[in-house]
Structure 1
Amino acid sequence: MGEFEVDQRVPSLFTGETGASGSPSAHVQKDLPQGHIPIADPSRGGTRNMKPLKSMPRTLPVDSDLARKVLFEVFRLSPYGLGVLDAQARFVMANDVLDSWLSGTAEAKAESLFEDCEVLRRLVFRAQSAGSAREADTTAVDGQGRRFSVSVTLASLDPPLEHGANFLLIMEDITEKKAYSQQLLRTEKLASLGTMAGGVAHDFNNILMTILGNTQLLHKELSKADPQVRRRLQNIEKAVLDGAHVVRRLQVFTGKDSGVSKSEEKTLIHEAVHDVLELTRPRWKNALEKQGRRVEIVKELSSNACAAINAADFREVLTNLVFNAIDAMPHGGVLRFRSYEEEDQVVLEVTDTGVGMDEPTQKRIFDPFFTTKGACNSGLGLSVCAGLIQRWSGHLGVRSAPGKGTTVTLRLPAARTQACRPAIPKAGPVQSMRKRLLVVDDDREVLELLGDMLRLMGHTVTALHDPRRALEMLVAQPFDLVLTDLGMPDVNGWEVAACAKKHQPKVPVILVSGWGSQYEDEDLKDRGVDFVCSKPLSYQKLLEIMARFAS
């Protein structure tokens, strides 16, 4: 038994005899009824009689010698650590598992297996008073110094067995059980996070819808206004759409959205750089010039460089790089963008003439929460950037030296340039295509906005905040098209769609929801829905939907 050997002169707890081999013998206690077997009973703090199985034929005799051999093998081969202790908690006997844990220990004491000896003392005290005691989770230490979690049961043998056998010790290694339990807990937390993310996404998309729709309507009303005003409105529109993409990315992370196919995402590098510089102009130009600093922008961009990446993700990466470059040039400097094609990749280099970084700093810049800008900065910018680029099968590298500036190199899979060209917008409906529309949404601002956009297209709109009233209207009068939110109190979008199809089977029903991305790829006609679109819904997207269902 390794470094801990049981004194072979001690009578075997299974045989009741002394022998050099310690093997079970045919000895049977004379005071037991024929066919009964004595076994340790931790729950009763002693021994009890185990009767033969009732299913066994009565004519089949019970071999007590065989039974004792079986019990000895159960003790020896048990996956639990089993041992017998004397009154001083020294081992009288130990099975193979406990023996392997004891290997390397200086003495065969039970306390050597516990990181905290007080645990064993408490178990002994409780077992002496109550018959048995259990510690559900404590830390054990084996002879090699390995720490692991165990569940421990200590039962008092009353009266003690031969040669001072006072306690039965049962130890179970629960390391794997704990790991599985923790994994299950993490899964449950992620599911809860997904549910919460769905609610946040719905509410946030409604807010973005209000901002986007009003911005686009304002842009149309100011079509002849100062170009500077129109440009700022376009910047707001891009920022809203990027925000919507961030929300969708959160839904993908939590499993509430399958995400878009990578093959569908293409971005022209020079257009993305131009957009980001426009969006960040207040930071790198207006604010710095007020402080007497100036950042010169140099663009050496290929007009054909087209990368397979989502435009919003790419703009987010560039925005972080621009802000980092500005922070690295406290007295102003030059910010250079250079793009080119290299075999099947597109490369963009972003170079600043700032303070630069030493080698130890460069090794940590992609670590989450690492920052050189003080407590006011989260330290997540470059970590998120690297994650986004890797998600699109790209690579982000950094070259820098103190006092010599920094160059960040983005490498992304190349896409066909033609695929990056925006599609020609479809023409909106004309006056002769005027439709009677029912719009249902419990968010009054979104409802008003949808109504204004549809009326601007020339349609007759009935906008209802109360979905119960919508059910009444669907029974009372016909409509050419129904647009409904999904998550509403009392009556949801599924019920509105079912009512519409029941009373007007041919009327198209469009689901417009902050949760829409979860259902965009599903066939929902059996639930009465013909088309699903996600909020925020742009004016152009609404035009395309109306053109699709105009007939």
Structure 2
Amino acid sequence: MSVNPLKILIVDDDEGHRFLMKESLEGPIHNTDIAFSGTGEDCIFKLSKETYDVVIIDFNLSDMDGLEVLRDMNCKEYNIPVIMVTAFGDESIAVEAMKLGVCEYVVKSEDYLRRLSTIVIRVVQEYKLRKEKKGVEEKLKESELRYKALINNMIDVVFTADKDLNILSINLACERVFEYPKEFAPKLNLYDLIHEEDKEKIVDCFKGSFASKREFIEGYEFRINTGRGNIKDVQMNAKMDYAKDGDAMRIEGVIRDVTDRKEFEHKLFQIDKLNALGLQSSGIAHEFNNILGIILGYLDILRMQLGDTNVRVSDTLKVIETAARDGAIIVDKVQQFSKIRKEYEGVERIDLINVVNEALEFTMPRWKTEAQSKGVEYEIVKNNLTTSKYFVKCKPSEIREVIVNILNNSVDAIPHGGRIDLSAQSEDDRAVISISDNGMGMSEEVKDKIFDPFFTTKGVRGTGLGMSVSYSVVTRYGGEIVIDSCLGEGTTIHIKLPLCSEEVTKRKVEKEVVSDYRANILVIEDEEVILDMMKVILEARGHNVFIAKDSSDGVKMYENNLYDIVLCDLAMPKLNGWKVARFIKEYDAIRKKSKTPVVLITGYELDMESLDYKKEGVDYILNKPVEFKKLHRIISDYSTANVKE
């Protein structure tokens, strides 16, 4: 293995001295490459061309002294170890030479040649060690700077604190999370930042950790008050350092802002609650729809039997029908509030300003007529509600209901009178309707629960469905409801909906035509009361009605008879409505008969957008409570089509 020779440059204007120094070095140092220079100028030239491990310079040269050579070397940044030799020992020269970077100052005494090799080896080794040390220090400094930059660029707060939670060091993230300038950080105490309601549990946490000599605190969540007066949710992970006697010395930790995550979790929790309640309410709604269907059906039977002979009875029946249909609307709301959809049947392009003004007219009896009768005055202020430039896609009755709900809430918030402001504006690609009142406002707890189904602050007067239904309607159309409110400062509710420009095609309303055709109808329904009711109503129209209380019986009847149309309930034991419909279509194919129309009747809320019910053998889905005018039209349409065939 070859070793590179030690390259030495000897600078001396005395040729004899040069050879003596060479001989003194070549013996002890086995592998050397020695070069000579007789002047300082030649030394500088050789250094510009070659690299040397060490330079030996005589102080007295013919063209310049050794100090001048050193200055020139420093000017040209020749970083090479230098040994200066001189015939005269001069302390001031030695000091100046050392300042200029000389590694060793050697006086030409009688034995200096004997010592020269040892001095050269030592100087070269020391230089290498200094160079290596400097390289390590530079790397260490570079690593420290990278580490410091990494810590300062972290989105989480990295800190050290004493056992009393006084900040000892902290990164730049404190400006974003704590909302305090970094120069103020050393004056901070973590305990002072903690929200008042959370201080006790944090103190207990640290006390318990110190008492049990616990080393780590992981995933501990609490709230802080920031320098700008905001409240944030944070999560802390910390490590405690203890002295040999067990006393806590220092806390090192990371604090992460989890405010956005907590808000997202809260929204997910709200959605989960809505979904759970939606599943629960679906079954309840089905039962109510059956009851309401029976009431409305027998009202029709009563009308047919009584005719118009008694006006008072007829008016009473109308009141009962109105109440039953209002009940059906409430059941529909219970089914709808947990459904978040972007489109809905009956969507059209509407002028939002017109809808707001209509909602004001609808609520006028409350904030004007009824209020004035009680000696209460409400000031309604409209801003930017005259120009029709905010068009959205939605079902107008639903958005009108949302605004009516909010207006009624505003009136309830100022029972002794006050001011309600309504305004419209655009925000990016959305229309924003804002409704404000100068009432008592809401607490944070109320704001958190305002969209929860059945949550109300009105006691027995409130249903708790108004805002939850409003939330469902607005989100279904890709919008949002934002609430700005503080206790004692009133409330502003912003309804934000996507703007649209293109015209939505409206469905044509066809004139109802009911034929006189008398159809053979098979009705399959497991509720006997509903079954009897439908038989009476349909027979009153002249149809031949055959009934089956059990779906298995209904299937057997279909196998042995021919029917023009089948009306079948969805939820039944043994065979449900879907299975019955598939059987009918398959059996029609076997006996090579034209397909018999199947109308599925249900009290459940089905997702009509994603459900391909035609593939299941169903021709039409009719919701309970049944609107018998619609049912008569369906029977008429299918019967007419069969006659033409």
Report matched runs for 1:337-376 at 5 Å.
Answer: 361-363=417-419
Query: Corresponding residue for 2:461?
Result: 378
Out of 173, 182, 186, the position equivalent to 1:97 is 173
The code of the aligned residue for 1:115 comes to H
- Distance in 2 between residues matched to 1:543 and 1:262, nearest whole Å: 26
Query: Corresponding residue for 1:254?
Result: 338
TM-superposed deviation, 1:524: 2.1
Query: Corresponding residue for 1:107?
Result: 187
- Distance in 1 between residues matched to 2:366 and 2:344, nearest whole Å: 27
Query: Corresponding residue for 1:334?
Result: none
- Contact 1:115/1:140, CA 8 A, preserved across alignment: yes
- Distance in 2 between residues matched to 1:467 and 1:324, nearest whole Å: 56
1:130–1:256 CA distance, 2 compared to 1 (3 A):
closer
Give the unaligned 5+ runs of structure 1.
1-23, 29-62, 266-307, 331-341, 345-357, 392-418
Query: Corresponding residue for 1:139?
Result: 223
- Contact 2:235/2:258, CA 8 A, preserved across alignment: yes
The CA deviation string for residues 374-408 of structure 1, in whole angstroms up to 9 with x for no partner, is 98872689x89xx89x99xxxxxxxxxxxxxxxxx
Out of 228, 236, 242, the position equivalent to 1:152 is 236
The code of the aligned residue for 1:531 comes to Y
The code of the aligned residue for 1:440 comes to I
Report matched runs for 1:260-299 at 5 Å.
Answer: 260-261=345-346
**3-state SS of 1:549 partner:** helix
**3-state SS of 1:504 partner:** helix
Query: Corresponding residue for 1:75?
Result: 151
**3-state SS of 1:363 partner:** strand
1:181–1:130 CA distance, 2 compared to 1 (3 A):
same
The CA deviation string for residues 238-280 of structure 1, in whole angstroms up to 9 with x for no partner, is 4433443443344444327865426699xxxxxxxxxxxxxxx
1:208–1:320 CA distance, 2 compared to 1 (3 A):
farther
Query: Corresponding residue for 1:470?
Result: 554
Out of 442, 445, 463, the position equivalent to 2:529 is 445
The code of the aligned residue for 1:75 comes to I
Query: Corresponding residue for 2:313?
Result: 229
TM-superposed deviation, 1:427: 3.6
Query: Corresponding residue for 1:216?
Result: 300
- Distance in 2 between residues matched to 1:85 and 1:224, nearest whole Å: 88
Question: Normalised by the size of structure 1, how large is the TM-score?
Answer: 0.57
1:493 and 2:581 are equivalent in the alignment: no
The code of the aligned residue for 1:361 comes to G
**3-state SS of 2:147 partner:** helix
The code of the aligned residue for 2:170 comes to A
Query: Corresponding residue for 1:185?
Result: 269
Query: Corresponding residue for 1:525?
Result: 614
1:206 and 2:293 are equivalent in the alignment: no
1:362–1:96 CA distance, 2 compared to 1 (3 A):
closer
- Contact 2:167/2:187, CA 8 A, preserved across alignment: no
TM-superposed deviation, 1:97: 1.7
The code of the aligned residue for 2:216 comes to S
- Contact 1:474/1:499, CA 8 A, preserved across alignment: no
Query: Corresponding residue for 1:514?
Result: 603
The CA deviation string for residues 167-190 of structure 1, in whole angstroms up to 9 with x for no partner, is 212111111111111111112222
Out of 167, 170, 174, the position equivalent to 2:251 is 167
1:186–1:69 CA distance, 2 compared to 1 (3 A):
same
The alignment yields a C-alpha RMSD, in angstroms, of 4.8
Out of 206, 209, 212, the position equivalent to 1:124 is 206
1:85 and 2:152 are equivalent in the alignment: no
- Distance in 1 between residues matched to 2:527 and 2:337, nearest whole Å: 27
1:326–1:85 CA distance, 2 compared to 1 (3 A):
closer
- Distance in 1 between residues matched to 2:362 and 2:190, nearest whole Å: 62
- Contact 1:256/1:518, CA 8 A, preserved across alignment: no
1:454–1:193 CA distance, 2 compared to 1 (3 A):
same
TM-superposed deviation, 1:151: 1.0
- Contact 1:80/1:172, CA 8 A, preserved across alignment: yes
The code of the aligned residue for 1:463 comes to I
The alignment-based identity, stated in percent, is: 21
User: Which structure: larger Rg?
Assistant: 2
1:180–1:534 CA distance, 2 compared to 1 (3 A):
same
- Contact 2:159/2:169, CA 8 A, preserved across alignment: yes
1:73–1:515 CA distance, 2 compared to 1 (3 A):
same
1:149–1:456 CA distance, 2 compared to 1 (3 A):
same
Query: Corresponding residue for 2:56?
Result: none
- Contact 2:274/2:337, CA 8 A, preserved across alignment: no
The code of the aligned residue for 1:192 comes to A
- Distance in 2 between residues matched to 1:87 and 1:323, nearest whole Å: 60
- Distance in 1 between residues matched to 2:605 and 2:370, nearest whole Å: 38
Query: Corresponding residue for 2:513?
Result: 426
- Distance in 1 between residues matched to 2:614 and 2:272, nearest whole Å: 32
- Distance in 1 between residues matched to 2:219 and 2:266, nearest whole Å: 19
**3-state SS of 2:461 partner:** coil
- Contact 1:136/1:151, CA 8 A, preserved across alignment: yes
- Distance in 2 between residues matched to 1:195 and 1:222, nearest whole Å: 41
1:175–1:181 CA distance, 2 compared to 1 (3 A):
same
1:542–1:123 CA distance, 2 compared to 1 (3 A):
closer
Out of 615, 625, 629, the position equivalent to 1:536 is 625
1:367–1:140 CA distance, 2 compared to 1 (3 A):
closer
Deviates most, 70-79 or 167-176: 70-79
**3-state SS of 1:255 partner:** coil
1:228–1:426 CA distance, 2 compared to 1 (3 A):
farther
1:542–1:86 CA distance, 2 compared to 1 (3 A):
closer
Give the unaligned 5+ runs of structure 2.
1-133, 375-385, 389-413, 422-434, 441-456, 475-505, 590-594
